[in-house]
Amino acid sequence: MLGVLVPLPVLLPLIGAGITLMLSGRRRGQTAVTVAMLAIVLAIDLVLLFGVDSRGTQVVAVGGWELPFGIALAVDRLSAVMLVVSAIVTLLVLVYAVGQEMADTANETPVSVFNPTYLILCAGVAAAFIAGDLFNLYVGFEMLLGASYVLLTLGATAQRIRAGVTYIVISLVSSLIFLMGIGFVFAATGTVNIAQLSVRIGELPEDIQLILHVTLLIAFGIKAAVFPLAFWLPDSYPTAPAPVTAVFAGLLTKVGIYAIIRTETVLFAESNLRTPLLVVGALTMIVGILGAIAQSEIKRLLSFTLISHIGYMIFGVAMGTVEGLTAAIFYTVHHIIVQSALFLAIGLVEQRNGTTSIRKLGGLAVLAPGLSMLFFIPALNLAGIPPFSGFIGKAALFQAGFETRDWLIFVLVAAGALTSLLTLYVIGKTWNLAFWRDPDDAEEPTEDLVEEFEERKAALADGQRWQGTQTMPRTMIVSATLMVAVSVLVTVFAGTIWDISARAAENLRSPSTYVSSVLGEEAGS
């Protein structure tokens, strides 16, 4: 019975996309359908998570064709965790977008394209997570590409079009490399079924395995934004509307991380690329955070921290141990939620003040204390301050690293600790300049902000109640608050999330478990 639910995280958003297209021009109807579909998907994903955790991997052969000849959809613990987290993020971001009236406004786009496109994006994310073969993983990526390009260029401003062109060119290159990799894999093994590949790739000569491995890693590395393949991200994400940036930053790079985890555990369990991956992880952490230090625009700054913290996930995967992989999965869950929360909070800053430039901002802690807390809590979490989940994830990664007694991994631990300290510096600088200092001390202060701050100080001096002149849509505030609350819940329920991550990692480090679930006990043995 549980297997019947497996295709629904993909099918329901696609059905919803069709319905919202038919409701073009009816904003409330589109919004109601989209919210309902994503809420149902979240409920289904939760059922799948608890079901898979207790009953094991659920597999569906599309069309009833016998596997491995048919299309396999498989949900194991890793897939289920990623489905649930992605459903939470996409639902809350949609509510935020409703508050910002992104679905159909004259300023953003002349037609009702946001809701159907957003649903297709959600379907693409889910398709990537449940794909049981490389070609359908590619199809999931392409669904993401098409939908994300539309969302990235909403409003058709010159800046967004330029960023969109860069994004789509890089994405197409990545997709082309991935498609070439699929062709190479099929030519060498005669299959693209992931479970069957787990058996057949190990029978190939080492040089052939290396070619296949490198090709797939390059394709997934571009999508995950690892160094030196991440140059496209800081110029693409910050130009998009705030809800789009939040879902991109939280989810899209993690689809690439998910693909890398599958590659390194199921396809190439006995990898000979651990050392290059460790080096890439270290460089991603350091170069990313150095880029963040140099930024004066908060959305670009957060985009560089996004790149930097991808390095922690690569670090955990590259260790090749159950403990390292557990920490990587836990950190991925943490980072999806926290990064999305930060971009939603900064979207509120932009909504309120018309800018996210540190050069122009100041005094927000006094003018908007609630908004300031929405930034401050996930920011501390991102920096790894105890007792937040960011600290738990990093501490677990470092402990797993020390247990390996490998000098190169010790270097990674040092790089991770340095990155964490520099992240704290970046967050502290942002807080001090944008939230704490007087706005008239800014390098390029905005007149409205300075005037508002003076009125606030005068009201405080006279003991009067002050009514701010700037208002923000309540729905946006509620959505951002809920996302921050979820980030705190990740800390509260860290033990439960860690246990599920550990069980997922144990399954991944035993590829025969996945193979036997998809192809049967005889294939797994």
% of the chain at pLDDT higher than 70: 93
Query: What does the pLDDT look like over 338-371, one tens digit per residue?
Result: 999 999 999 898 888 888 888 888 888 888 888 8
**Residue 4: which pLDDT band, with cuts at 50, 70 and 90?**
confident
Task: Judge residue 156's burial from the number of C-beta atoms within 10 Å of its C-beta, 0-12 exposed, 13-18 middle, 19 or more buried.
Answer: exposed
Mean pLDDT for 295-307 is 91
Measured between alpha carbons, how far is 14 from 22 in angstroms, rounded to an integer?
Answer: 13
Going by pLDDT thresholds of 50, 70 and 90, the confidence category of residue 110 is: very low
* Burial track 337-367 (b if 16+ CB lie within 10 A, e otherwise): bbbbbbbbbbbbbbbbbebbbbebbbbbbbb
Least confident residue range of 39-48, 231-240, 252-261: 231-240
Residue for token digits 């799948």? 48
What average pLDDT score do residues 504-509 get? 89
Closest CA to 258 of 127, 95, 374, 148: 127
Residue entry with tokens 């995280």:
9
Give the list of residues 6+ apart from residue 481 with CB closer than 8 angstroms, or none. Answer: 374
Closest by CA position to 301, among listed 433, 426, 164: 426
Q: For 320, left (φ over 0), alpha (ψ -120 to 50), or beta?
A: left
pLDDT value at position 152? Answer: 81
Q: CB within 8 A of 405, min separation 6: which ones?
A: none
pTM: 0.92
What pLDDT sits at residue 165?
A: 79
> Environment class of residue 412 by beta-carbon count within 10 Å: exposed (0-12), middle (13-18) or buried (19+)?
buried
pLDDT higher than 80, residue 247: yes
Higher pLDDT, 407 or 486: 486
CA distance 29 to 241: 22
Express each pLDDT in 400-443 by its tens digit: 998 888 888 899 999 999 999 999 999 999 999 988 888 787 77
Q: Residue 164 in contact with residue 153, Cβ under 8 Å?
A: yes
Residue 479, pLDDT score: 92
pLDDT at position 126? 94
Q: What angle do CA 488, 492, 496 make, to 5 degrees?
A: 125
Query: Which pLDDT score, from 0 to 100, does residue 270 have?
Result: 77
* Each residue's pLDDT tens digit, 171-222: 889 999 999 999 999 999 988 999 899 889 988 898 899 999 999 999 999 9
Mean pLDDT for the stretch of residues 247-264: 90
Distance CA 494, CA 271 (A): 30
Crossing angle for the helix pair 494-508 and 322-353, to the nearest 10 degrees: 130
Centroid of chain to Cα 13: 19
337, 250 in Cβ contact below 8 A? yes
CB contact at 8 A, 87 and 42: yes
| Average pLDDT over the chain, rounded to an integer | 87
71, β-bridge pairs: 62
Q: Measured between alpha carbons, how far is 105 from 112 in angstroms, rounded to an integer?
A: 8
Q: 58 forms bridges with which residues in the sheet?
A: 75
* Stretch 484-493: mean pLDDT: 94
- Range of lowest pLDDT (120-134, 203-217, 340-354, 457-471): 457-471
pLDDT at 460: 64
Instruction: Select from 15, 352, 325 the least CA-distant residue to 361.
Output: 352
pLDDT of residue 23: 87
Which DSSP helix (H) or strand (E) runs through 279?
A: helix 274-293
If pLDDT is split at 50, 70 and 90, which confidence band does 119 have? very high
Residue of 120 and 352 predicted with greater confidence: 120
C-alpha distances (whole Å) from 518 to each of 93, 147, 200, 263 are 34, 30, 15, 17
> What HEC string does 407-418 produce?
HHHHHHHHHHHH
**Angstrom distance (rounded) from CA 156 to CA 117:** 15
Q: What is the DSSP string of 23-60?
A: TTT-HHHHHHHHHHHHHHHHHHHHHHHHHHHHH--EEE
Q: How confident is the model at residue 464 (pLDDT cuts 50, 70, 90)?
A: low
Q: Is the dihedral of CA 382, 329, 482, 352 positive or negative?
A: positive
Closest C-alpha to 227, from 141, 289, 320: 289
Pairwise CA distance, residues 292 & 342, whole Å: 15
Q: Considering only residues 18 and 166, tell me which one the structure prediction assigns the higher pLDDT.
A: 18
The number of angstroms, rounded, from the C-alpha of 309 to the middle of its chain's C-alpha atoms is 11
Check pLDDT > 80 for residue 450.
no
Banded pLDDT at 104 (limits 50, 70, 90): very low
Residues 142-167: pLDDT tens digits? 998 888 888 887 765 667 777 677 88
d(CA 285, CA 419): 6
What pLDDT does residue 469 have? Answer: 55
**pLDDT tens digits, 318-343:** 988 899 999 999 999 999 999 999 99
- Within 10 angstroms of residue 187's Cβ, the number of other Cβ atoms is 10
The residue with tokens 């208002």 is 471
If one counts every other C-beta atom within 10 angstroms of the C-beta of residue 39, the result is 13
Q: What band does 519 get if pLDDT is binned at 50, 70 and 90?
A: confident
Surface-to-core class of residue 458, CB atoms within 10 Å of its CB (0-12 exposed, 13-18 middle, 19+ buried):
exposed
Question: Do 227 and 280 form a contact (C-beta atoms < 8 A)?
Answer: yes
Q: Which tokens hold the place of 35?
A: 């919210």
* Helical axes 114-130 vs 27-55, angle rounded to 10°: 10
The residues that bridge with 60 in the sheet, in sequence order, are: 73
pLDDT(471) > 70: no
Most confident of 22-26, 71-75, 238-242: 71-75
